[in-house]
Amino acid sequence: MSRIDPNDKGSILAPLKNLQFFGRKAVTESLDPRPASANYRGFHLNDWEACIGCSTCQKVCDNAAITMAEVPGLPEDPEKGVRNLRPAIDYGRCCWCALCVDLCPTGSISLSREYVHTCTDPELDSYFVLPDSSGIHGVAYDKGWAKHAESDMVALERTDMPELAPEARIGNFDEIVDGYDRNQGIIEASRCVQCGMCHDACPTHMNAPEYIRAIWQDDIEEAVRQIYRTNPFAHTCGRVCTHRCETACSVGHRGEPIAIRWLKRFAMDQLSHERVKQIAAEGRQSSPSGQRIAIIGAGPAGLTAAYDLAMQGHAVKVFEAMGAAGGMTRYGIPYYRLPADKLDNDVDVITSLGVEIQYDTRVGTDVTMEQLRDDYDAVLIAVGLWMGRSTRVRGADAEGVHRAVELLRKVADGESIPVPKRAVIIGGGNVAMDIARTLARLQKRKHGQVAITLTALEDIDHFLADPDEIREAREEGVEILDARGPQEVMLDGQGRATGLRTLKVLSIFDGQGRFAPKFDDADELVHDGDMVVEAIGQAADVNLLGEALTEELEWQRGRLRVDEQLRTSADWLWAAGDMVRGPDVVSAVADGHRAAASIHDHLMISEQAA
């Protein structure tokens, strides 16, 4: 700067210098209205199509300016993770920081390039706005601050789960997935935005946000406590749950969903079994109710009900046809997915509450339904789906053709099964993957190589199996042929299976997800195999009911008719689990809770009436 001398009195003509300003543009001139800058943080815009109502914006809002408002008519689908809530903004509180934008899991919220909102007193309500994509004044201003990779604060990437490499796992039944260590568990848990979509989507409404948060806080006991509030099959579901929670997870809309199932497993694996038992027994009714309940089937549904009823002080006896408990989770799911000792732990927690399991007892032959009805205050039937369907194509009854459920049961029971040099599997569900991968392991052990062809009616995009299962089966050397319809089991001169003839499937799933396979006669293949395994549908074996009871009960399209509370048409009998719900571990657990609650209510009312 030029030198300034405060003592310089200056020239008397100095004011004349100011005349130059007449020739200059004024610095304080008014501006015409203009759109704000491209990143401006103006008023909220919300794309209602993309918004799922997860409320994360509300949680991160520094000023509690966001209220989630129910908008009737918008889609509400817990299984897809969609709520009909949309954020409403109180501009008396909002500070336009745009954290709601940066943390929005779906990217539906943005801020507009609009500067001004003002109003007169009677319109003060106009500061409370339910924004949609049209802007606060319905004028089309562009998006200003919006979702951008630079400012995105959602943790989109999942913590990798270490697992055995295909070559390390193929010759054995060791568990594939390692599980998270403490650091990985906490990091994965920290990704959660606590929206609770998982809780809504879960059939048994697990307190997933709570246990995830407890894991993040390194409070494993609290996590286990939260898990046991809704799910006594904690180890099992931590490993093999169908994890609908993850489908609904709001973070999964743009990234990978939180590994909720692995976090549950992580929490369970971190705590000693003895401590788990203590936590699971917390809140148990100390005085016996004097009521006796018989449960048929020691699977997830039956034992969950047993757990609840035992917690409420009832005497529970479970009749199990097999030699061990767990139902399909033990006899259907291979050990590499669910090790037996983990399932034993789950069962032990339940039996430690005093639940008695009578093994090797088949209801219908060893004891009749009528006896149970007469001896107990209530009976719950939860026998699962143990009958494997057959395609009944030509040759399906030949030697060398097997049902997957039966093979899996034998393997789990330690019985030996024939191990073919080449096997052909029919089916595209998880059971098909289970038997394919089980046979692959046995083949590797016995013949040193894997030779399995899996054929399914569905195209690969419509497989009923989990994508993970499909990927892992392929890694293990299983050849998967999609859209192939079984036509005939090929036989040799002795009537033994030598392969399967299939045709290409042409038709597709309709709008309702229904499917009527149509075949292309020109595209025929014969898959060689000295064993053909049918791993298609399963059905419940309800012969145990006996003819009279079958006739007495009401049925609904092949399944026992039950009401919302899982009561059958007989006032002493409840039914739950796969046999009424279709196959799913966590749905069976949910059913177990519902049946137990209904039985408990029924007993309490009967007691009061007596």
Residue 582 is a binding residue for other proteins (CB under 8 A): yes
> Taking contact as CB under 8 A, which single stretch among the options 133-141, 238-246, 509-517, 568-576 is the one that binds other proteins?
509-517
What is the pattern of x (binds other proteins, CB under 8 A) and - over residues 150-169? xx-xxx--------------
Q: Does 194 bind other proteins (CB under 8 A)?
A: yes
Question: How far is the C-alpha of 382 from the C-alpha of 319, rounded, in Å?
Answer: 10
Quick check: 548 binds other proteins (CB under 8 A)? no
Q: Is 400 left (phi over 0), alpha (psi -120 to 50) or beta?
A: left
Residues 241-260 binding other proteins (CB under 8 A) are none
138: helix, strand or coil: coil
Q: Which of residues 454-493 bind other proteins (CB under 8 A)?
A: 457, 464
Stretch that binds other proteins, among 143-151, 219-227, 230-238, 370-378 (CB under 8 A): 143-151
What three-state secondary structure class fits 226?
helix
Q: Closest distance between other proteins and the C-beta of residue 167, in Å?
A: 29
Nearest distance, CB of residue 598 and other proteins, angstroms: 23
Residues 419-448 interacting with other proteins (rule: CB under 8 A) = 427, 429-432
In the list 86, 205, 213, 594, the residue contacting other proteins (rule: CB under 8 A) is 213
* CB of 238 or CB of 583, closer to other proteins: 583
The minimum distance between CB 486 and other proteins, in angstroms, equals 10
Interface with other proteins (CB under 8 A), residue from 73, 286, 558, 608: 558
Residue 417 DSSP one-character state? -
CA 604 to chain centre: 34
Cβ-based nearer residue to other proteins, 34 or 286 = 34
Structure letter (DSSP) for residue 124? G
- Residue showing tokens 């109502």: 53
- Nearer to other proteins among residue 103 and residue 350 (C-beta): 103
Residue nearer to other proteins on the CB measure, 339 or 546: 546
**CB contact at 8 A, 191 and 251:** yes
Q: Decide whether 357 or 457 has the Cβ nearer to other proteins.
A: 457
Contacts of 530 (CB under 8 A, 6+ apart): 400, 420, 421, 422, 423, 496, 497, 498
Measured CA to CA, the distance from residue 229 to residue 483 in angstroms comes to 43
SS3 577: coil
Strand partners, 313: none
Residue type, 509: F
Residue from 247, 278, 368, 550 binding other proteins (CB under 8 A)? 550
Distance CA 607, CA 610 (A): 5
Q: What is the rounded CA–CA span in Å between residue 206 and residue 226?
A: 8
Instruction: Give the closest residue to 344 by CA, choosing from 287, 411, 290, 298.
Output: 298
Q: Is 296 or 353 the residue whose CB approaches other proteins more closely? A: 296
Please list every residue from 105 through 124 that binds other proteins, using CB under 8 A.
111
CA proximity to 328, closest of 301, 358, 295: 301
Provide the H-helix boundaries in 130-207: 166-169, 182-190, 197-201
Pick the binder of other proteins from 553, 570, 572, 597 (CB under 8 A). 553
Whichever of 53 and 232 has its CB closer to other proteins, that residue is 53
- Which phi and psi angles does 548 have, rounded to 5°? -65, -45
CB of 406 to other proteins, least distance (A): 14
- The footprint of other proteins on residues 332-391 (CB under 8 A) is 385, 389-391
Q: How far is the CB of 44 from other proteins (least distance, A)?
A: 13
Q: How far is the CB of 59 from other proteins (least distance, A)?
A: 6
State the nearest-atom distance from the C-beta of 28 to other proteins, in Å.
Answer: 5
Measure the CA–CA gap between 158 and 258, rounded to whole angstroms.
6
Count the Cβ atoms, other than its own, within 10 Å of residue 274: 9
What SS3 class is residue 464?
Answer: coil
Contact 298, 318 (CB under 8 A): yes
Do 330 and 343 meet the contact criterion of CB atoms below 8 Å apart?
A: yes
* Smallest distance, other proteins to C-beta of residue 30, A: 11
Closest distance to other proteins from the beta carbon of 257 (Å) = 14
DSSP string covering 319-374: E-SSSSS-THHHHTS-TTTS-HHHHHHHHHHHHTTT-EEE-S--BTTTB-HHHHHH
User: In angstroms, what is the minimal distance from the CB of 49 to other proteins?
Assistant: 24
DSSP 8-class letter at 30: P
3-62 binders of other proteins (CB under 8 A) = 4, 6, 8-10, 14, 17, 27-28, 36-41, 56, 59-60, 62
Binds other proteins by CB under 8 A, chosen from 474, 537, 570, 572: 537
**Binding window for other proteins (CB under 8 A); candidates: 134-142, 373-381, 413-421, 546-554:** 546-554
Report the nearest approach of other proteins to the CB of residue 159 (Å): 12
Q: How many CA atoms lie within 13 A of 205 on its CB side?
A: 5
Where do we find the tokens 């088949």?
362
Pairing verdict, β 85-90 and 292-296: unpaired
- Pick from 58, 67, 133, 190 the residue near other proteins by CB under 8 A: 190
Rounded to the nearest whole angstrom, what is the least distance from the CB of residue 474 to other proteins in the complex?
A: 19
Closest CB to other proteins among residues 471, 518: 518
Nearer to other proteins, 14 or 522 (CB): 14
Q: Where in 297-316 is the site for other proteins (CB under 8 A)?
A: none
CB 519 within 8 Å of CB 503: yes
Calculate ∠ Cα 508-512-513, nearest 5°. Answer: 45
Site for other proteins in 559-578 (CB under 8 A): 559, 578
Nearest distance, CB of residue 43 and other proteins, angstroms = 13
Binding other proteins by CB under 8 A: which of 173, 180, 216, 376? Answer: 216
Q: Shortest gap between Cβ of 334 and other proteins (angstroms)? A: 16
Query: Considering only residues 267, 350, 473, 536, which one is a binding residue for other proteins as defined by CB under 8 A?
Result: 536
Task: Give the number of residues in contact with other proteins, rule: CB under 8 A.
Answer: 80
Dihedral-angle region of residue 81 (phi above 0 means left; psi in -120 to 50 means alpha; beta otherwise): left
